[in-house]
Structure 1
Amino acid sequence: MPKTAKKYKLVYLTPALYVAGGVERVLTLKANYFAEHYDYDITIILTDGKDKPFFYPLSPKIKVINLDINFEELWTCSFIKKIFVYLKKQRLYRKLVEAELMRLRPDITVSLLRREINFLTDIKDGSKKIGELHVNRANYRNFEADDANCVKRIFAKFWMRNLVSKLKKLDSFVVLTNEDRQAWPELLNVSVISDPLSFVPTQVSMMAEKRVMAVGRYVYQKGFDLLLQAWSIAEKTHPDWQLAVFGDGDRTQYQKQMRELGIDSNRCHLNGPTSNIQQEYVNSSLFVFSSRFEGFGMVLIEAMACGLPVVSFACPCGPRDIVKNGEDGILVENGNVEAMADALSRLMGDDTLRRSMSQSGIMNVRRFNIEQIADCWRTLFESVKKDC
């Protein structure tokens, strides 16, 4: 950090830090770096998880204020009760946030775009207001379009119109990919800053194990049903390879699908979460990414940093910004099972190509190192404050 660089006072607003989520991990990474390397004065304001330990280690230099609003109570309320409880809690939240910001007088307030976006820009504490979004627009507060009735669709349009009006008032609105930036044509204040790589690998794959790896929760979004369809084709041409999936959630339906597809259970393993994801990357030689949609795709850059070439659906949003098609991986049409199977077969059968892509990926993902990402944020902070 340049000696003349300004040391900012930052406030982050997010619901909680006790969960093992991607947003929580990225916020912790960035806040720790800003506090330790830039000497920023950082306060994180929470609404939930009172007295629960933080999942990711937080620098002792960072101050945390838990307002104990307990929005999580809404999860157990009936629909009618939920409306009244929400309105009461939201009024309290605004009152307490405003009091804290007026007391702290930060240079910059950063919202993770939860409930505070409804009032944040109206608080006159003197701070610049930045919002950062960790999902793509199409799946931000998704109203389940497949089963949405007319009332839900009308509400969704009204909600999005109101959201856009709030986002316009921000000093900057940060998204994760260039692809998603194009999804906000109404806004002139959009910046793109990717998530940082969550670790620096201590070793990389030697490309010795004939194993394809995938990571993610066992949910519709991650597309493991599509992956299994592709694998049922690819495994037939490469009987010496195996597939290993790691993730949290209910695997029952996917295990049933394996049986229905006749997949060899000795070579396809649906595992639970792992406590040593780096070692699992290193023990593999190819990474497959089957998501239907994403906000970014952290596991892609993790796998590439560990030396794995990738086969990925070109889903919105993330893979197109991360993977250099034909250089460090192969992008295939989103949802195209046959194309994914072909790409997997091609890479499983070409050791030279895998090794070439491995080396390219290791080099290419350096742009996601925390040093580079933090510098992008520092530049943004300086930009929004330059007129003060």
Structure 2
Amino acid sequence: MSPTDAGRPLRVLLFIHSLHGGGAERVAADLSAHWAEMGRDVMVVTQESAEGDVYALHPNVRREVLHTAGEGGGLRGIWSNVQRVRALRRVVRSFRPDIVLGMMTTASVLSVLACAGLSCRVIATEHTHPPSQTLSGFWQRLRRLTYPRAARVVALTRGTADWLGQHVPGCRLAVIPNPVHFPLPRAEPILTPVAGDGRKRLLAVGRLHADKGFDLLIQAYAQLAPSHPDWDLVILGEGDERRALEAQVRNAGLASRVFMPGRAGNVGDWYESADLYVLTSRFEGLSNTLLESMASGLAAVSFDCDTGPREIVREGVDGVLVRPNGDVSALGKALDAVMSDAEDRRRMAQAATAVRDRFSAASVLQKWQELFDGVRAQGR
């Protein structure tokens, strides 16, 4: 389908809480930029203000801020959500989009409610695996009510789509992964990796959050460190678990070999300086960092989460999947094997770059194009 329809560009509105950081936020910025470059009219609507944005929007993408962010329970919370729906509906009526894309669960629910009775088609999206979400019963009930009324519900992985099909009956499901961009963009803050000094580096990247399992990684590395004296561990990211993880490192006597430099906008430089990537998440949607590290030419050792890594890593070809998920001993054995075999590590690293084609922006955008075609042809 041409980006134009009946003489005017296709109009797409993306609704997301903020652009203050995170995987879904980055995807919203990337997709909106791609669609703007295709000649579509694109608007990104956020609840939070642009102050504090981590991701910049394409100059041809319009931005609207609802100023409706804020927490609240009980009747106050219900009234806040009514206000959000009303504010979003006003913007939708003014912009008159053909497609409204809700980015993540609550934004998707609010989008369906705000667009009730309007001519636009709503596409809901799930960017995490639902069992890993801390979603209240109120929002779970709203998801079950609203998702069947969406034109499509997009999951990043087949595993998440299967879960939605079982627990949110009536959804019209589609699976579209996130694209990987290579070479990776650079942004602030710029953190320079430690200069090469002949030491090897095991790298992990992500929010310092319990879901990412960095506590398990430190446990496994502590077991490996004596037998791999030339390997250091770098955990790149920032978050609420920093103090607990730093204490764990000190207690293990590893302060000189485990480094936590913070969040870097030049993460590509860190992939290039590393020798092996490790993902220890307890839960994943589709891991952007796993895709990026492999696109950068790193073999990967990853826990086999319920969803995500198994749809990226080709077992024994470009990485290793560790089972059972969360098992520190199994993780240590897998890391030990790959860290000990430089030739096998090089072989898998070379194969890993195939994700550039397997998850290319062109292939992902084609999936979105096919989805848009189907949604717009769908009768009400």
Give the partner amino acid of 1:61.
N
SS at match of 1:287: strand
Contact between 1:130 and 1:170, CA under 8 Å: does it hold in 2? yes
What's 1:55 paired with?
54
Compare 93-102 and 229-238 and name the one that shifted more.
93-102
CA contact under 8 A between 1:225 and 1:254: conserved in structure 2? yes
1:117 aligns with 109
Distance in 2 (alpha carbons) for counterparts of 1:165 and 1:380? 22
Q: Secondary structure at the match of 2:281?
A: coil
Contact 1:13/1:111 (<8 A) preserved = yes
Query: How far has the Cα of 1:350 moved from its partner?
Result: 0.8
> Contact conserved, 2:180 with 2:361, CA < 8 A, in 1?
yes
Please state how far the C-alpha of 1:338 moved relative to its aligned partner. Answer: 1.0
> How far does residue 114 in structure 1 lie from its aligned partner after superposition?
1.7
Amino acid at match of 2:22: G
Give SS of 1:12's match. Answer: strand
Q: What TM-score do you get using the length of structure 1 for normalisation?
A: 0.85
Q: 1:316 deviation in Å? A: 2.7
Q: 1:129 corresponds to which letter in structure 2?
A: V
State which of 133, 149, 155 in structure 2 corresponds to 1:169. 149
Give the superposition deviation at 1:23. Answer: 1.6
Query: Shift in Å at residue 161 of structure 1?
Result: 4.0
Instruction: Tell me how far 1:209 sits from its aligned partner.
Output: 5.4
Indicate whether 1:33 and 2:34 are aligned: yes
Query: Map of 1:246-257 to 2, 5 A cutoff?
Result: 246-249=236-239, 250-257=241-248
The equivalences for 1:78-227 within 5 A come to 82-112=73-103, 113-115=105-107, 117-118=109-110, 120-121=112-113, 123-142=116-135, 156=137, 159-184=139-164, 185=166, 186-201=169-184, 210-227=200-217
| 1:244 CA displacement | 1.1
Q: Are residues 1:320 and 2:310 paired?
A: yes
Mean CA deviation greater in 88-97 or 296-305: 88-97
Letter in 2 for 1:232: A
Q: Tell me by how many angstroms 1:360 deviates.
A: 0.8
Provide the rounded CA distance (Å) in 1 between the counterparts of 2:87 and 2:276: 49
Residue of structure 2 in register with 1:280 after alignment:
270
List runs of 5+ in structure 2 lacking aligned partners.
Answer: 186-195
TM-score norm. by structure 2 comes to: 0.87
For this pair of structures, how many residues does the alignment match?
358
Q: Distance in 1 between matches of 2:267 and 2:257?
A: 20
**Residues in 2 aligned to 1:245 and 1:222: alpha-carbon distance in whole angstroms:** 11
Quote the residue 1:146 is aligned against.
none
> Among 10, 13, 17, which residue is 2:12 paired with?
10
Contact 1:209 1:284 in 2 (8 A): no
1:262-273 correspondence runs (5 A): 262=253, 264-273=254-263
Q: Following TM superposition, by how much is the alpha carbon of 1:287 offset from its aligned partner in structure 2, in angstroms?
A: 0.4
Distance in 2 separating the partners of 1:291 and 1:4: 38
**CA distance in 1 between partners of 2:358 and 2:302 (Å):** 19
Query: CA-atom RMSD, angstroms?
Result: 2.3
- Is 1:304 the counterpart of 2:305? The answer is no
1:114 aligned partner, one-letter code? T
Q: Deviations over 1:75-128 (max 9, x none)?
A: xx6xxxx43432333222222322332333221111123256156256222111
**Offset at 1:201?**
4.7
Moved more, 246-255 or 352-361: 246-255
SS in structure 1 of the partner of residue 263 of structure 2: coil
* Higher mean C-alpha deviation, range 59-68 or range 99-108: 99-108
1:385 partner letter:
R
- One-letter code of the match for 2:109? I
Aligned-partner SS, 1:24: helix
> Relative to 1, partners in 2 of residues 1:163 and 1:296: Cα closer, same or farther, differing over 3 Å?
same
**Superposed displacement of residue 188, structure 1:** 4.4
Q: Given that residues 94 and 116 in structure 1 are in contact (C-alpha distance below 8 angstroms), is that contact kept between their aligned partners in structure 2?
A: no
1:153 aligns with none
